[in-house]
C-alpha cells in the first residue's frame, strides 16, 4: 500500500527505480514488526469475514431487522467490509511477505486496487447517508418522514445501488486509459503493483470520499445533538408516568437510541481511517515529505483502518436487541444441525 502513495505523483519515485533493477524488494521490516503486522492483518481478516457474514445472515433471518430501513444501510456496510476482508486485505499481507513486490500480473493487481477504491469510499458514503437518515428521522419524531415516498424500502435500495455504482465507476477511472485520471499505462511497474491514479484523481478521491463526508457527518451529528436537546425539553422523560406509553415519547426515545448507535459507528470509522487518510493526502500534495515517513507508520495506520471492518459487526450488535436475538436463533439452528449430523454418525 505504501507504493500507492510514493508513486501517486508524476515522478517515478526511488522505490520503482530500485524495483526495476533486478526486481529488488523495498519493504524490509524487522522480524518483530513483521510478526506484529502480519498477525494483526490475518486476525482482522478472520474476524471481519466471520463477523460480517453473521451480520448478513442475521439480517436475513430476523423479520424485525428486515423491516427496519436502517438495516439496509447496515447490510450495505457489512457487504463492503466483507469485500474488503476478502479482496483487499489479503493482498496487503501478500505484499508484505513479498517485500513489496508483485508476481500475480495485471489482472490481480487491478482487482486489488479496484476492491480497495470501491469498498472504503462506499463505507464512508453509506455512513454519510445513514447519518442524514438519522437526522431526518429525529427532525420528525412521529416518523412522518418514513411515511413519505422518498424513504420506502425500494427507494433506499435504489439509493444504495446508485452509491455502489458511483464508487465502482470512480474506482475504475484509473483503468480507463484517460491520462487525466491515470498515472501510467500499466498497473504493475518494475514488479510493483501501484494504485494507478493521477495526482488529480487521488486528491479528488481523498476530498470527495473522505474529507467532505467526514466533515459533513460531524456537522450532521452536531445538528442531531441539538435535535435531541430540543426534543428532550419538549417531551417528558420516558420513565415519567404521564408520558410513558405515548407514541411520541416512545418513538422519540427509540430514534435517539438508534442515532446514538449510528454515532458510535461513525465515530469509530473516523478514528480508524483518519490517520491513514491524512498520510494519503500528505503524499498526494508533497511526495518528498511522504518519502521521509517510515513504511512502518503507513502499515500501522493502514492496519488501524482495516481494523474497522472487524469492529463494525460488534458495533452493530451493541445495545441492539434485534441483532442479539437473531444471533441466538442462528446459534440454536447451528447447534441443532450439528446435533442431527452427530446422530446420523
Is the pLDDT reported for residue 302 higher than 90?
yes
Average pLDDT, the chain: 80
CA angle 37, 12, 197 (to 5 degrees): 70
- Percent share of the chain, pLDDT over 90: 26
- Evaluated on CA atoms 127, 77, 281, 9, the torsion sign reads negative
Phi and psi angles of residue 151, each rounded to the nearest 5 degrees, phi first = -115, 30
Q: What is the pLDDT of residue 17?
A: 36
Listed by start position, the domains of the chain span 2-329
188 forms beta bridges with 193
Average pLDDT over residues 130-157: 67
Taking a C-beta distance cutoff of 8 angstroms, is the pair 302, 92 a contact?
Answer: yes
Q: What is the pLDDT of residue 316?
A: 78
- Evaluated on CA atoms 143, 146, 147, 153, the torsion sign reads negative
Confidence of residue 315 (pLDDT cuts 50, 70, 90): confident
In sequence order, what DSSP letters do the residues of 217-281 get, joined into one string?
HHHHHHHHHHHHHHHHHHS--TT-TTTTT-HHHHHHHHHHHHHHHHHHHHHHHHHHHHHHHHHHH
pTM for the full predicted model:
0.81
Is the pLDDT reported for residue 281 higher than 80?
yes
CA distance 111 to 88: 8
pLDDT digits (tens, 9 = 90+) for 321-343: 778 888 888 888 888 888 777 77
Taking a C-beta distance cutoff of 8 angstroms, is the pair 137, 146 a contact?
Answer: yes
Kindly report the CATH number that applies to the domain delimited by 2-329. Answer: 1.20.1070.10
- Evaluated on CA atoms 32, 38, 41, 42, the torsion sign reads negative
Higher pLDDT, 97 or 320: 97
Q: What is the pLDDT of residue 10?
A: 38
Length of the chain, please?
345
Least confident of 167-171, 254-258, 260-264: 254-258
Amino acid at each position: 500500500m505504501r507504493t500507492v502513495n510514493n508513486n501517486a505523483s508524476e515522478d517515478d519515485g526511488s522505490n520503482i527505480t530500485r524495483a526495476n533493477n533486478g526486481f529488488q524488494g523495498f519493504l524490509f521490516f524487522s522480524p518483530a514488526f513483521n510478526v506484529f503486522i502480519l498477525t494483526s492483518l490475518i486476525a482482522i481478516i478472520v474476524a471481519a469475514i466471520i463477523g460480517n457474514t453473521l451480520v448478513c445472515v442475521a439480517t436475513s433471518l430476523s423479520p424485525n431487522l428486515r423491516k427496519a430501513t436502517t438495516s439496509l444501510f447496515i447490510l450495505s456496510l457489512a457487504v463492503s467490509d466483507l469485500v474488503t476482508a476478502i479482496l483487499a486485505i489479503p493482498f496487503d499481507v501478500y505484499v508484505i511477505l513479498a517485500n513489496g513486490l508483485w508476481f500475480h500480473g495485471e489482472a490481480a493487481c487491478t482487482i486489488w486496487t479496484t476492491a480497495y477504491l470501491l469498498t472504503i469510499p462506499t463505507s464512508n458514503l453509506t455512513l454519510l447517508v445513514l447519518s442524514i437518515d438519522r437526522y431526518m428521522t429525529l427532525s420528525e419524531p412521529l416518523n412522518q418522514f418514513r411515511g413519505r415516498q422518498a424513504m420506502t424500502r425500494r427507494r433506499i435500495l435504489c439509493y444504495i445501488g446508485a452509491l455502489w455504482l458511483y464508487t465502482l465507476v470512480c474506482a475504475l477511472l484509473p483503468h480507463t486509459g484517460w491520462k487525466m485520471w491515470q498515472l501510467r499505462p500499466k498497473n504493475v511497474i518494475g514488479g510493483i503493483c501501484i494504485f494507478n491514479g493521477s495526482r488529480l484523481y487521488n486528491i479528488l478521491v481523498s476530498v470527495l470520499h473522505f474529507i467532505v463526508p467526514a466533515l459533513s457527518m460531524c456537522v450532521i451529528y452536531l445538528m442531531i445533538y441539538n435535535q435531541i436537546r430540543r426534543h428532550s425539553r419538549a417531551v417528558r422523560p420516558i420513565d415519567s408516568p404521564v408520558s410513558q406509553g405515548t407514541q411520541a415519547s416512545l418513538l422519540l426515545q427509540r430514534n435517539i437510541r438508534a442515532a446514538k448507535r449510528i454515532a458510535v459507528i461513525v465515530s469509530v470509522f473516523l478514528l480508524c481511517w483518519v490517520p491513514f487518510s491524512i498520510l494519503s493526502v500528505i503524499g498526494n500534495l508533497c511526495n518528498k515529505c511522504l518519502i521521509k515517513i517510515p513504511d512502518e507508520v503507513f502499515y500501522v495506520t493502514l492496519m488501524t483502518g482495516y481494523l474497522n471492518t472487524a469492529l463494525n459487526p460488534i458495533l452493530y450488535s451493541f445495545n441492539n436487541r434485534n441483532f442479539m436475538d437473531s444471533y441466538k436463533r442462528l446459534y440454536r439452528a447451528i447447534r441443532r444441525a450439528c446435533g442431527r449430523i452427530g446422530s446420523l454418525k
